Chains A and B, each alone.
Chain A
């Protein structure tokens, strides 16, 4: 099929693992996450004329995914049978807890559990900053929020994680002894 204004396919493919990870953090469920990735890639092709060649493709894809996710969540909220955000976040905890690497799960399960408990808005900022290591200006663009909001959400997310893990540290002593 002839493709006008083609996107760089190798870069698209290379972006998939990060898109999947971000989608899983957002949705908390791997099938829904992959649906979200697929939809994001389809939108990227449809809107390919809006991508300025040479600019950061990953940031552009994350922007599309964020918008798709927000729209889907808005639709789901209008839907009377939609799950509550709490259920959603518990799903995130479940999904992120199921990891192939069992020793990682024991060691790192705690931070992932706490990550899942954060509001989606804070989770997004934290992942983009701490895991994707995006610049704050980039994050502001991806999420279409002012940079001040990025900084305050990041700060709140970190405070919550910090308090939660410190609290858990006290209660998690026996586990550490076992290890």
Chain B
């Protein structure tokens, strides 16, 4: 009975010294008859030796203590609990920080910087509205002013900016971070629009100097006077905005002086 032909698996096994005894004679006969096969087996044996020589030195390296510990006892229950617990702790921490940060951010929002930004965003939102930029049109100015004064809790006026080419379009109530804000909108012959936003300031200085900021391409002049914050916003140049700002300030101051205390 002629033996099964020598297979690739036979050669691997023979090279590894794992060929079944009954296969060895056939394999060795094949190697004698084929120098290429013999060379292959010799190569594989050299490979094995080279791999062992290369990798055996790792076996004598010092074992880190953490691995010795891991081998000596089962992992604590905490090990499995740790990832979910850590996630839960982070969530709680995040919410807590977030909650307090919220207050801090809201406080910061009361400072003029954030007031300017908010004013600019509000300006862009409504000034770009062709159909309904305001809630109450200038034709009902008296009703507008009464309404806004009631909602803001103090007397507001719509300054007259006709002398600088801007006519009152109307106004609306907008949300503020702490207090509602009154918005007056003006427009000139070129359809350029300005908004004046007025609100009661919460904490912070009683009054500040004029400040100027550009937020998203919108110029904002803003100031605080007698606990009220004012922001004049528009896509007009700084000088023009400052001139109008001073005009607004002057009119409001005159109105305040005239008002009964």
Instruction: Please determine whether B63 and A16 come into contact, CB atoms closer than 8 angstroms.
Output: yes
B44 touches A99 (CB 8 A): no
Interface residues on A, range: 35 or more
Compute how far the CA of A15 lies from the CA of B68 in the bound complex, rounded to whole angstroms. Answer: 11
Contacts across chains A and B counted by CB atoms under 8 Å = 113
How does the 8 Å CB contact mask read for B11-53 relative to A, with 1 for contact and 0 for none?
A: 0110010100000000000000000000010011001101111
Residues of B within 8 A of A107 (CB): 53
Q: Which 8 A-B pairs have the closest CB atoms?
A: A45-B74, A41-B70, A108-B54, A12-B71, A42-B75, A130-B48, A17-B59, A151-B9
Known A-B contacts A9-B72, A158-B44; the reply to A38 vs B54 at CB < 8 A is no
Q: Which chain B residues lie closer than 8 Å to A12 at the CB level?
A: 71-72
Which chain A residues numbered 1 to 29 have a C-beta less than 8 Å away from chain B? Answer: 1, 3, 9, 12-13, 15-18, 20-21, 24-25
Q: Which residues of chain B have C-beta atoms less than 8 A from A32's C-beta?
A: none
Q: CA A96 – CA B50 in complex, angstroms?
A: 13
How many of chain B's residues have a CB under 8 angstroms from any CB in A? Answer: 35
Give chain A nearest CB distance to B197 CB in angstroms: 44
Known: A17-B59, A104-B53, A115-B54. 13 other contacts (CB 8 A): A3-B73, A17-B58, A17-B60, A25-B55, A41-B71, A42-B75, A96-B55, A104-B54, A127-B51, A130-B52, A131-B52, A161-B47, A162-B40
Counting CB contacts under 8 A, is A37 at the interface? yes
| B47 surroundings in chain A (CB, below 8 A) | 111, 130, 158, 161-162, 165
List 28 A–B pairs whose Cβ atoms lie within 8 Å, in order of A's numbering. Answer: A13-B68, A17-B59, A20-B61, A34-B67, A37-B67, A41-B70, A46-B74, A48-B74, A99-B54, A104-B53, A108-B50, A108-B53, A111-B50, A112-B51, A112-B54, A126-B51, A127-B51, A129-B16, A130-B47, A130-B51, A131-B48, A135-B18, A136-B13, A155-B8, A158-B12, A158-B47, A162-B40, A165-B47
Question: Is B64 interfacial (CB-CB < 8 Å)?
Answer: yes
Q: Is A174 an interface residue (CB 8 A)?
A: no
Does the CB pair A101–B59 fall under 8 Å? Answer: no
CB proximity of A165 to chain B, nearest CB, Å? 8
Q: Is B66 an interface residue when CB atoms closer than 8 A count as contact?
A: yes
* A38 and B66 contact, CB distance less than 8 A: yes
How distant is the Cα of A131 from the Cα of B51 in the complex, in angstroms?
7
Given contacts A158-B47, A162-B43, contact A16 B71 (CB under 8 A): yes
| Complex contacts, A3 vs chain B, CB 8 Å | 73-74
The chain A residues found within 8 Å of chain B, CB to CB, are 1, 3, 9, 12-13, 15-18, 20-21, 24-25, 34, 37-38, 41-42, 45-46, 48, 96, 99-101, 104, 107-108, 111-112, 115, 126-127, 129-131, 133, 135-136, 151-152, 154-155, 158, 161-162, 165
Contact present for B51 and A111 (CB under 8 Å): yes
Within 8 Å of chain A (Cβ to Cβ): is B79? yes
Q: Does B5 contact A (CB under 8 A)?
A: no
B67 and A20 within 8 A (CB)? yes
Contact of B54 among A45, A96, A165 (CB under 8 A): A96
B contact patch SS: helix
Complex CA distance for A20 and B61, rounded to whole angstroms: 10
**Are A151 and B67 neighbours in the complex by a CB distance under 8 Å?**
no
Contact in complex: A42, B51 (CB < 8 Å): no
Interface residues of B in 207-225 (CB under 8 A from A): none
In angstroms, Cα B57 to Cα A104, docked, is: 10
Report Cα–Cα, A46/B8, bound state, in Å: 40
Of all chain A residues, which has the CB nearest B73?
Answer: A1
Rounded to whole angstroms, the CA-CA distance of A168 and B106 in the bound complex is: 69
Cβ 8 A contact of A18, one of B12, B13, B18, B59: B59
Candidates B53, B67, B74; contact of A16 at CB < 8 Å: B67
CA distance A17 to B57 in the complex (A): 10
Say yes or no: A17 contacts B70, CB within 8 Å. Answer: no
Q: Are A9 and B12 in contact (CB under 8 A)?
A: no
Complex alpha-carbon distance, A24 and B68, angstroms: 17
Contacts of B72 in A (CB 8 A): 9, 12-13
